Structure 1
C-alpha cells in the first residue's frame, strides 16, 4: 500500500466529514494524520477482527480533539461503518461524538481532557509488562497539551518502570488554539528534557511516512526505556491556506475554501499516482 497516497485520501475524508458535520479540528487532524496512517496500516498489530485480543497493540489519542482523523482511519480500516460515521457524526444521539468514544470498536479510552492520555498509556504499558504481554502502547499527544502537569508525572514514571513497549508521539506543530506554543508556555529544549528524564528520544519530520516508519522501528529496537518521538509537523498540512495558521485549530471551511482544499489534495493525489506509475 502507498501510505503517502492513503494519507491524502484520509485528508479528503476528514475534510468531507468536518464540512458535513459543521464542526471539527481540521488543523490538528491534518498535522497528525500521517502518524495515524503509518500506525494503523503498517506499524501496529491491530485488526477489526481482533478488537478484544489481549495481545493487540494499544493506541491512545490524547489530543482527542483530533478525533475526525482517528474516526476516518478506523472507518477505513473496517472497525465501524463509514456511512454511519458521515451521516451522524457530532449529531444528537450519535456514538460518533466530538472526542474519542470507547463505546466504539477500536477505541481504547475516552480522551479529550488534555493531559490524561500519556498517564493512561503508562498504566496500560505497565499492565502489559506485568502480565508478560507482547503488545506495544502508542500514544499521541499535542504539544500544547504538554503544559499539563500530569503529562510530566507520566514522563517521570515511564522510565522508572523501564517501559520499553511504550511509544509516545508528540505532535509538535507549534500552534495551539491561543497561538504559538512557545508564546503560551515555552517548551525550550524538549528533547533534552525528555532525555534527562530517561527517555529514548527521536526528532523527526512528522509528516513524512518514511521518517515515521524508521522512528517506530528504532523504538521497537530500544530496550529498557520508553521512546518519545517528537514529530515536527505542520498544522493544516496538505492545504496551502491552512498550513501554520492557528486559526485553523477549530474552524469549518466555507464552501469555497472546501473546494480549494479538495482541489489541492486531489492534485497531490494525482502527482503521487503519476510518481508510482498508476
Structure 2
C-alpha cells in the first residue's frame, strides 16, 4: 500500500510539474526519452512510461544496464572531444536522464563550453530548460526534430551560442534508432556534416539486435511500436553505413561497452547490445 501511494505521489508531482512548465503533454502517451529517464533513475516520467520500461525489462532483462552504458559512452565521448579542443556542443535528441548532462560534463572541464540541446519531446525540453536555468548564458534548448538540419542550425538559440565557423561536437546518443528510414538518417547526418566546420566531431550510439538476439530485438521493437514509439535495431555494418561522409576514428564502430572503456573490468553482455562511434569532419590537408 505504501509503495502504491509513493508511486501515485510521483505521478502527481510529475504531472503538476509538466503543467507548471507549460509543457503540452498527454501523460498517458509514453515517450522514449522519459522511458530512458526512468531506466536511468530519473524523475521526469509518468506511469505510462514506467509501464513500457517494465515491459521492455521483462523482455530483455538488463536493458537498464544497456541504457546506462549508452549514457556512459556519451560521457567518455564528450571528455574526448574536450581534449581534442572542442568547446561547443550540439546534443541531438538530448532527452532527460538521471545522470550528468552534456553541459555539466563539458563545463566542469571547460567553463567556456557552450551547449545546445535539441529534442522534440515538450516534457524533455521543459525539463532541460529548468535544469540549465543557472547556465542560460552558455546553454540553450531547442524544441525541434533533429532531422530538420537547417531549422536546428539556423535557430536563434544555435546562432547565439554556437559559432559554426569553428568545430562543433555533435552528440547523437541512443537516438538514431528512433528514425526508421535509413536513407533519411544518412541524409540527416550528411546534412550536419556539410553545415559544420572542418574538425567537428560526431559521437553516436545505436541499438544492435544481433547480440541481444533477433527474436528478442523484434519483441522489443514490437512492444515499443504498440506504444507509438519507433525503434529500429541495426547491425554494426548498418550503423556504419549511416555515417556517410563522417570519418570514423581509428577504433571505428565498436560495442558501446568496448568503446574506449575506463578500467580493465570486462564488460557485461548488456554492454554489447549497441554500438558506438566517434567520427570527424576532416580538416583540409592542403591544396587539392
TM-score by shorter chain over 0.5 = no
Q: Which has the higher contact order (CA 8 A, sep 6+)?
A: 1
Q: Per the shorter chain, which TM-score range? A: 0.3 to 0.5
